[in-house]
Amino acid sequence: MTEIICPHCGKAFKIDEAGYADILKQVRDSEFEKQLQDRLELAEQDKRSAVALAETKFASELQKESAAKDSEINSLKAKLDAGEVERKLAVAEALAAVEKHRDMLANELERAKQDKQGALQLAEAKLSIELEKSTAKKDAEIQGLKSELAATAVAQQFAIVEAIGAIEKERNELKSDLERAKLEKLISEKSLKDKYETQIKDRDDAIERLRDMKARLSTKMVGETLEQHCETEFNRIRATAFPKAYFEKDNDARTGSKGDYIFRDLDESGAEIVSIMFEMKNESDKTATKSKNEDFLKELDKDRGEKGCEYAVLVSLLEPDSELYNTGIVDMFHRYPKMYVVRPQFFLPMITLLRNAAMNTVKYKSELALVKAQNADITNFENELETFKVAFAKNYDLASRRFQVAIEEIDKSIDHLQKTKDALLGADRNLRLANDKAQDVTIKKLTRGNPTMAAKFSELNEKKDS
């Protein structure tokens, strides 16, 4: 979602990617139209400047070429005049020489008419040939100069025509580019107009169909039709977009309530990517009491928590005139966590948006699960170590107490043995005394004071001696 602040009222509102792209496209089209108009004006100014510059440049070059050609023509005229003068001087000189030679010949003729007649005719013939040669040479030079002047004029005319042709070609190209830009602008405008008219017509048709449907159905049937619509739309793209997804009605009412649909999507390993609890709400225009979207959020949040879903989405046609809900996707995080209210046309984009967002967090969830598993292993190790320490301490305590009892018993045994030892030592002393006493016993001591025993022992001694 993108938050946008209105520049007029300063109110902040949120818009989804599609709406944002649509607004951006309108702004871009407006900017494109403005930029196109500016570029057309700049192109027109550049064209006028280029034409003016080309005309100025052409006029300058034409003036320069005309001046050069006039100078060249004047030079050629001067050369022609000089050639004419030289020709006239040559003719005059030749005539003077001829006249002089003629006079000389006349004199000689006068002197020798008879013998010089042939020589005079020969001289006249030579003079005539030389004069003809000189005249032909000068005529050829004049004709060459005329040809050069004609070629120069043709080249100048061709250069002028070529320059004008290049300018006209550039002007035609600019005119063609301008016409093409205008045509593309008209085509773009017509395409956009047709597109927006088509979209408006489709939207009007959809609104009209919904109005007709709502007018013909009861409140219960409208709600069921909305559920069927969402289910049909999902099943239409299930195989391509959500092949491992679960999207079924919530039939578990053991907790006392249930939502309409539960969506769960799994990855390749079978781990859950995202889960959504859906509730579809609508009502007929003829219903007397009009419900609000917020009337269903608390129960939907409860169902989401009881069914273990991550998100909760209310697909609603309630409050059709609300500017808030008509923008498309509205988050209700300020009321309940991970909850959205959407219009039916944003049902599939909402699933795709949440699923793609969850896909981006799968990696982090896996890493978090690994860290948790590692932490669990460490915790288990610490717990097992603590258990071992407790058990060891218990066993040590029991062993210590038993060792103490054994020590006490040993001490008691030692005391008993000491008493026995003392008794035995006492008995040994008594036996030694008894032995000493026994060793000290003699017949004399036994018979002392006993005449009978003395007589008996005396008899025995006598018998022993005999």
Decide if pLDDT at 313 tops 90. yes
Tell me if the pTM is above 0.85. Answer: no
Of 346, 344, 359, the closest CA to residue 1 belongs to 346
d(CA 242, CA 348) in angstroms, rounded, equals 11
**361 domain residue, yes or no:** yes
**Which residues span the domain enclosing 235?**
228-375
d(CA 71, CA 149) in angstroms, rounded, equals 12
**289 domain residue, yes or no:** yes
Residue 302's pLDDT is what? 92
Decide if pLDDT at 214 tops 60. no
Decide if pLDDT at 222 tops 50. no
Decide if pLDDT at 440 tops 60. yes
**2 domain residue, yes or no:** no
User: How many domains does the chain divide into?
Assistant: 1
Residue 351's pLDDT is what? 93
What percent of the chain is predicted at pLDDT more than 90? 12
Residue 373's pLDDT is what? 75
For the ranges 151-160, 193-202, 267-276, the maximum mean pLDDT occurs at 267-276
At 300, the pLDDT band (50, 70, 90 cuts) reads very high
The one-letter amino acid code at 375 reads N
Residue 221's pLDDT is what? 41
At 277, the pLDDT band (50, 70, 90 cuts) reads very high
Q: In the predicted model, what is the mean pLDDT of residues 144-173?
A: 70
CB 6 within 8 A of CB 13: yes
Residue 278's pLDDT is what? 94
At 173, the pLDDT band (50, 70, 90 cuts) reads confident
Residue 267's pLDDT is what? 83
Decide if pLDDT at 187 tops 80. yes
Residue 275's pLDDT is what? 94
Residue 332's pLDDT is what? 93
Listing DSSP states for 78-115 in one string gives HHHHHHHHHHHHHHHHHHHHHHHHHHHHHHHHHHHHHH
**88 domain residue, yes or no:** no
Decide if pLDDT at 320 tops 80. yes
For the ranges 184-198, 325-339, 408-422, the maximum mean pLDDT occurs at 325-339
**358 domain residue, yes or no:** yes
For the ranges 59-63, 268-272, 353-357, the maximum mean pLDDT occurs at 353-357
CB 176 within 8 A of CB 103: no
Decide if pLDDT at 223 tops 70. no
311: helix, coil or strand? strand
pLDDT in tens, 330-376: 999 999 999 999 999 899 999 999 998 888 777 776 777 777 777 77
Which one has a higher pLDDT value, 256 or 386?
386
Which one has a higher pLDDT value, 90 or 348?
348
Interhelix angle for 219-241 vs 347-440, to 10°? 70
Pick left, alpha or beta for residue 223 (phi over 0 → left; psi -120 to 50 → alpha; otherwise beta).
Answer: alpha
User: Residues 6 or more apart from 214 whose CB is under 8 A from it?
Assistant: 222, 282, 284, 285
Residue 337's pLDDT is what? 93
**271 domain residue, yes or no:** yes
Q: Sheet holding 272-281: strands in order across?
A: 246-249, 261-266, 272-281, 311-316, 339-342, 329-331
Rounded to the nearest 10°, the torsion over CA 419, 421, 426, 429 is: -170
**54 domain residue, yes or no:** no
Q: In the predicted model, what is the mean pLDDT of residues 391-408?
A: 79
**342 domain residue, yes or no:** yes
Residue 217's pLDDT is what? 42
Residue 252's pLDDT is what? 76
d(CA 39, CA 178) in angstroms, rounded, equals 10
- What's the mean per-residue pLDDT of the chain? 76
Of 335, 285, 277, the closest CA to residue 311 belongs to 277
Residue 286's pLDDT is what? 46
